[in-house]
Amino acid sequence: MEQAQPAPGSLSWRLSAHPITLLTFLGFRISSVFVYLFGLLFTANAVLIFIITILLLAADFYYLKNIAGRRLVGLRWWNEVDAATGDSHWVFESSEPGTKVITATDSRFFWIAMYAQPCFWIALALVAILTFNWIWLPLVAIALVLTVTNTLAFSRCDKFSQASNIAGSAFSSGNLAGSLASNMVGRFFSR
């Protein structure tokens, strides 16, 4: 008996262009929450749970920022510090349109996991506060900093990518927007 194939864009890892990257990304995302929630069932050592959760969060941050974001949705970001002034600025990078095929499945998994993770940690922070488990608040705060930083950075990176794709198409094509832009630039430099 044949199995029905999932529809394109559905949440099935089998439709992913990079299934190993996707499963590793989801594994890091889920494992830190599971270790935090269920770690005390396996050991009474809270310090061990704290350390394992921090290591999983750090691995998730690194893998998402440097590997999964680039392979699944064609986005990457980093922060540069100017050595002379000490000023910090974010740098956003996106793949060139047409050079990388981004599947709807990869994109949906990426963005759902990206926004769901901080929501889970916010809920866990509220639970820790309401149950007076102050010992877990530093761990939840670290988790929130790491997940919210990645979420904000990739959201900005996506907006930057969309804006530069629109601007690139306006300047490269012979449409009305392209001719208006080139006329404005020409007038600016003719003075």
Tens of pLDDT, residue by residue over 21-72, are 999 999 999 999 999 999 988 888 999 999 999 999 999 999 999 999 999 9
CA dihedral 33, 34, 37, 39 (to 10 degrees): -130
Contact 106, 73 (CB under 8 A): yes
Residue 190 C-beta-side C-alpha neighbours within 13 Å: 6
Give the tens place of pLDDT for each residue, 141-150: 999 999 999 9
Contact 152, 164 (CB under 8 A): no
Q: What is the pTM of this model?
A: 0.76
For the chain, the residue count is 191
Locus of tokens 């449409």: 175
Domain boundaries of the chain, sorted by first residue: 13-190
